[in-house]
Amino acid sequence: MSIYGQRGRELLLDLKRSDWLPSYNDEGVRATLQEISLHFNELTDQASAASSAERTSATNKGAIPMQTRPSMLLHDAAIRRNKRCLLAYHNHRADKLRALRWETSAALPTHVRALLSEAEVDFFAEYDRLVSRYSAAMDLDLGANVTPPEEDFALVRVVHSGLGRIVTEIGTVALDVGTTHSLPRNDVEHLIRQGALQQLNGEENI
């Protein structure tokens, strides 16, 4: 058995070393669960042995022998530590995926998908469905203006091909690659977040 609680700690260090999210560490998660199981089995065995010793002892009825308590407490602490690490590991990754949903407007980039477990891909898809259903029910574009804009119009340059034409509040606009437009922010915010449009600061050459 490794150092008590070490497996869970390694998962958190894996997160700390990453700029955003590391690849899902399936091997590390399994190893942490296995360590929890080993500690639990050892704790159960010691509790059973202590119970047997209690039944054969004429004194200290109902008490765990003093010599057994430190070991049992240590195994219990290791179990709790690894559980907390597993919860922190998965919660951190889930938080990143929820934030990504608002940044990309439901589009899961291929390079991000490669970092996720199958369960995390399903989580992202289900979270997107929940947001989309609520948005439709309230008749609100929840993805528009996540950060309050300073101006109603955005100056953008088209950097991805295949966008076609979009209908905006000022009319229909053809989004051909390399063209630049001043468009209502509400109509193009999702394309800016997806990287299809590059927002210009007004000082750049058009």
Q: Residue 206's pLDDT is what?
A: 46
Tell me the average pLDDT across 13-26.
93
Q: Residue 195's pLDDT is what?
A: 83
Other beta carbons within 10 angstroms of residue 57's beta carbon come to: 11
Mean pLDDT of the chain: 83
More confident site: 197 or 193: 197
Kindly report which listed range (5-19, 63-77, 78-92) carries the lowest average pLDDT score: 63-77
Tokens of 97: 């995926």
Q: At what angle do helices 6-17 and 69-104 cross, to 10 degrees?
A: 20
pLDDT at residue 25 greater than cutoff 90: yes
Tell me the average pLDDT across 133-143.
78
| Amino acid at residue number 173 | V
- Hey, which of 51-65, 95-109, 131-145, 170-184 has the most confident mean pLDDT? 170-184
Q: Residue 203's pLDDT is what?
A: 53
Q: Would you give the distance in Å from CA 173 to the centre of its chain?
A: 36
pLDDT tens digit sequence for 45-73: 888 877 776 565 545 555 666 667 787 88
- Percentage of the chain with pLDDT > 90? 37
Question: Which residues does residue 184 pair with via DSSP β-bridges, in sequence order?
Answer: 153
CA distance 195 to 192: 5
- Percentage of the chain with pLDDT > 70? 82
Other beta carbons within 10 angstroms of residue 116's beta carbon come to: 19
CA distance 22 to 31: 17
CA distance 18 to 39: 29
CA distance 41 to 37: 6
Q: Residue 48's pLDDT is what?
A: 80
**3 state SS for the chain:** CCCCCHHHHHHHHHHHHCCCCCCCCHHHHHHHHHHHHHHHHHHHHHHHHHHHHHHHCCCCCCCCCCCCHHHHHHHHHHHHHHHHHHHHHHHHHHHHHHHHHHHHCCCCCHHHHCCCCHHHHHHHHHHHHHHHHHHHHHCCCCCCCCCCCCCCEEEEEECCCCCCEEEECCEEEECCCCCEEEEEHHHHHHHHHHCCEEECCCCCCC
